Chains A and B, each alone.
Chain A
Amino acid sequence: MAEYTVKDKLSFLKAAAGSGRRLLAPSSKDGRVRLAEVTPDRVAFDYLNTHLSPKDAFFPQTEKMLAFHKDAAKPGAFVYQPLGLDKIQPTVVFGLRPCDARGLAVCDRVFQNDRFTDPYWKTKYEGAVKIGLACQAPGPNCFCTAVGGSPFGEDGLDVLAFTKGEGLGLKTLTPAGDEFLKGLSGLESGGAAGEMDGLKKAAESRLPGPLDLAKAQAAPVMEIYNQPHWKETADRCLNCGTCTFFCPTCHCFDIQDEENERGGVRMRNWDTCMSWLYTIHGSGHNPRPTKTERVRQRFMHKLKYIPLKQGGACGCVGCGRCVQHCPVNIDIRAVAVDMSK
């Protein structure tokens, strides 16, 4: 893979925006940084991370999947047509933080694997060149290093960039990243990798050491499942969905139709395992009847089930959003410690 430097960020972003791809990048709006389609001059650099995780660029809160209407020619029949898939544009995402890119990779293994392929996710995810921006000054709630990541992590990225004075250092990580940078003008070859190692070590030294998840990972599922600490955490939990909506790896959805007298639209919406509605059966039976089961599900999923299903990869990437936003301070780091006791 190759390395490049550019003298100023803006000309790089202009070149990226002129590549024929839609530019998605962090920008500030109403005092909050979010990933949005922006012009190069509005891209933000002075942010810890985007307020919401970047998952909605690939898995929006509401995604219209198909529309149906009554067939005029055939009474009782409906005509279906997919919505949106043909409107997905090739994109370049600039400014993903390594934790979030790693989170998207976790989602990718859910939406595309040997059993299923989700065309909506696949088209967007694979149609995007993902350029990460390394964290040279990690935030107060960051703990990527505690769960196996790094502020200069490379998982899920095509290119990793870091700030170098007024410019950028860039390192390509995939053929797609290589090809994209090759097509841009104004890049100088070399001069990034050496510097990157030093910056990486400096940034990592400001972050916590790894969480001891060994026991939680090794113990049988039912042993962790039956641990007594779940009740204490659940006592406090309000069962709001804030953690799941902010989490870069939470990917659950609910498919619903909205209809009128002529037809309807099928859409999928973010759902949250914190809600009792998430598991209620048509019969009225609810396999997760109380807060305790719901809270346990979330943490078991992140720290036990995902590692089991995805070859050891932790379902938490340490972005710190849930720690920051949980109204009752349920801290996934503390839960992980409880699970490993």
Chain B
Amino acid sequence: MSDFEPRIVAFFCNWCTYGAADLAGVSRLDYPPNFRVVRLPCTGRLNPKYIIEAFKRGADGVWVSGCHPGDCHYIAGNYHARRKFVLLHHMIEAVGVEPGRLHFSWISSAEATKFQEVAREVVEKVRASGPNQSFRKAELDLGLAEVA
């Protein structure tokens, strides 16, 4: 599995981590390109079904990142989100998704270096977990083998 490149869906808050990713880019900080970013207005907007949907459609990992507690643009969005994360994190691991697949972080828009570090850590942990085979929908059988 040495050539396995994980596919990760990242949900970033518009006001912080999304900016940190931008700053990391303009600062020419190197980070792995394995995640596709979905920009959210706030982590409080994150519906747990988005995370499960990402896995269901075959993502190998999911990374959610927002503003540090106390820094929410909408005062308390991330406080509410944090309670959801606690339950979701617990549930996802309790039902047998490998612990390395789901990640959460707080990264402000000024923390380009933290963004780089966390991005590297997330990708490496998901890579170590291998391809997501158990927590996803089976690939549709289009009957192509019979055609060929």
* Interface positions of A (Cβ within 8 A of B): 64, 67-69, 79, 81, 83, 258-260, 262-265
Cα A258 to Cα B143 with chains together (Å): 14
Q: How far is the CB of B55 from chain A (nearest CB, A)?
A: 16
Q: How far is the CB of A266 from chain B (nearest CB, A)?
A: 11
Within 8 Å CB of B143, what residues of A? Answer: 67, 69, 81, 83
Given contacts A67-B141, A263-B142, 12 further A-B contacts (CB under 8 A): A64-B141, A67-B140, A67-B143, A68-B142, A69-B143, A69-B144, A69-B147, A259-B140, A260-B139, A260-B140, A264-B142, A265-B140
A interface footprint on B123-148 (CB within 8 Å = 1, 0 otherwise): 00000000000000001111110110
A interface footprint on B2-39 (CB within 8 Å = 1, 0 otherwise): 00000000000000000000000000000000000000
Within 8 Å CB of A81, what residues of B? Answer: 143, 146-147
Q: How far is the CB of B133 from chain A (nearest CB, A)?
A: 17
Q: How far is the CB of A161 from chain B (nearest CB, A)?
A: 38
Cα A260 to Cα B137 with chains together (Å): 12
Q: How far is the CB of B65 from chain A (nearest CB, A)?
A: 28
Cα A81 to Cα B139 with chains together (Å): 18
How many of chain B's residues have a CB under 8 angstroms from any CB in A?
8
Asked whether A79 lies within 8 Å of B147 as measured between CB atoms, the reply is yes
Within 8 Å CB of B140, what residues of A? Answer: 67, 258-260, 263-265
Within 8 Å CB of A64, what residues of B? Answer: 141
Cα A81 to Cα B144 with chains together (Å): 10
Q: How far is the CB of B7 from chain A (nearest CB, A)?
A: 14
Within 8 Å CB of A263, what residues of B? Answer: 140, 142, 144
Say which residue of B142, B146, B147 sits within 8 Å of A265 (CB atoms): B142
A-B contact pairs, 18 of them (CB 8 A): A64-B141, A67-B141, A67-B143, A69-B142, A69-B143, A69-B144, A69-B147, A81-B143, A81-B146, A81-B147, A83-B143, A258-B140, A259-B140, A262-B144, A263-B140, A263-B142, A263-B144, A265-B141
Within 8 Å CB of B144, what residues of A? Answer: 69, 262-263
Within 8 Å CB of B139, what residues of A? Answer: 260
Q: How far is the CB of A130 from chain B (nearest CB, A)?
A: 30
Within 8 Å CB of A259, what residues of B? Answer: 140
Nearest chain-B residue to A263 (Cβ)? B142
Nearest chain-B residue to A258 (Cβ)? B140
Cα A138 to Cα B139 with chains together (Å): 45
Cα A69 to Cα B144 with chains together (Å): 8
- Which among B140, B141, B146, B147 has the highest number of chain A CB atoms within 10 Å? B140
Q: How far is the CB of B141 from chain A (nearest CB, A)?
A: 7
Within 8 Å CB of A262, what residues of B? Answer: 142, 144
Q: How far is the CB of A84 from chain B (nearest CB, A)?
A: 10
Within 8 Å CB of A79, what residues of B? Answer: 147
Cα A67 to Cα B142 with chains together (Å): 5
Within 8 Å CB of A83, what residues of B? Answer: 143
Nearest chain-A residue to B137 (Cβ)? A258
Q: How far is the CB of A6 from chain B (nearest CB, A)?
A: 42
Among all A-B residue pairs, the 6 with the closest Cβ atoms? A67-B143, A263-B142, A67-B142, A69-B142, A265-B140, A260-B140
Within 8 Å CB of B146, what residues of A? Answer: 81
